[in-house]
Amino acid sequence: MFKYLLGRLGMAALVALTVSIISFALVFMSGDPAIAIAGENATQDVVEQIRAQYGYDRPLPVQYLDWLSHALRGDFGVSPFFKVPVAELIADRLKVTMVLGLLAISFALIVGVPMGVLAAMRPNSLIDRFALFIAVVGQAIPSFWFGLILIVLFAVNLGWLPASGVADWRGYVLPTIVLGYYATPAIMRLTRAGMIEVLSADYIRTARAKGVAPRKVLFKHALRNAVIPVVSLAAVQMGFMLGGSVVTESVFALNGAGYLAWQSISRNDLPTMQALILIFSLFYIFFTFLADVLNAWLDPRLRG
């Protein structure tokens, strides 16, 4: 197990290094970053001043190594728009996004896994068709449109929940449903497919022939093996949720890191953009590594 973890950790480190290079390079792909920060109408003196201030006048390898060394210490520079350190700005906003992401993936798992199990136990039944209908609808509905519908229904017409902000726990309800529903169809379909395959396996038939209780066969033998790919999918979806919360946070006016990403893009706040890309990518790598560890614990065959 230790050798397996060491190999996965080394791979995660290599991916993180690659991501850092891409995060740094993205800023330069759209043109001169000094002009982007200063604005198209800025004078040449202002552009040169910004270029010297942010070190854009140095060779790219030197800029990257300097940026990486500061990033490893949690220093991403100062936001040219908000005029505060980028690390403080992100730390203040990241809490909302993390809470929303954890609630959303929990919602997707709580809804998707049981529906997938029930659909697999009764293929082509009413519950199976309903689950597939939910999956198709979930993939077809744009998240911003779904969010607006929930706001009109539960905030405007019924007045049960707030339309924006997270002053208390109620502010997370609608955004959690919108963001979590995005991942529910994939989790439900993968659980259903895995359960159908596992329930037809020889060892399941053997367990039933030996008189093992149906509930024990379902949860201890079948679900444990069928849920292995779901763990990996949930980790991937969690990474997508953190990076893809921009739309949801914008619809519900949540002051999180996703909304900060939209603000930094629209205002050419390049240091903040760099930091957010790197941080979201590192979260994605971490959750993928965590999924590998959980899968190895659930299925010892994966440890090699």
242 contacts 279 by C-beta, under 8 angstroms: no
pLDDT range class, residue 147, cuts 50, 70, 90: confident
pLDDT range class, residue 107, cuts 50, 70, 90: very high
Give the pLDDT of residue 209: 76
Confidence check: pLDDT of 17 > 80 = yes
The larger pLDDT score, comparing residue 94 to residue 219, is at: 94
Give the pLDDT of residue 244: 66
Reported as a single tens digit per residue, the pLDDT across 199-214 is 777 777 777 777 777 7
What is the separation, in whole angstroms, between the first and last Cα of the chain? Answer: 9
Torsional sign, CA 113, 230, 223, 139: positive
Integer Cα distance of 199 and 221 in angstroms: 9
The DSSP 8-state label assigned to residue 78 in this structure reads B
Q: What is the mean pLDDT of residues 22-30?
A: 78
Confidence check: pLDDT of 304 > 60 = no
Domains defined along the chain, listed by start: 96-266 (1.10.3720.10)
Reported as a single tens digit per residue, the pLDDT across 54-77 is 777 788 888 888 888 888 888 888
Confidence check: pLDDT of 226 > 80 = no
Torsional sign, CA 72, 59, 81, 30: negative
Cα–Cα nearest to 284, from 76, 97, 12, 69: 12
Instruction: Name the CA radius of gyration of the chain, rounded.
Output: 23
Give the pLDDT of residue 189: 85
Most confident of 104-113, 214-223, 283-292: 104-113
pLDDT range class, residue 170, cuts 50, 70, 90: confident
Q: Which residue has the tokens 């190594």?
A: 65
Give the pLDDT of residue 301: 63
- Single-letter amino acid code for the residue at 88: E
The share of the chain scoring above pLDDT 70, in percent, equals 94
Cα atoms in the 13 Å half-sphere on the side-chain side of 84: 7
Q: Which residue has the tokens 């953009």?
A: 273
Give the pLDDT of residue 237: 81
Integer Cα distance of 171 and 148 in angstroms: 14
The rounded mean pLDDT for the chain is: 82
Give the pLDDT of residue 28: 76
Reported as a single tens digit per residue, the pLDDT across 253-302 is 888 888 888 888 888 788 888 888 888 888 888 888 887 777 777 666 66
Give the pLDDT of residue 162: 87
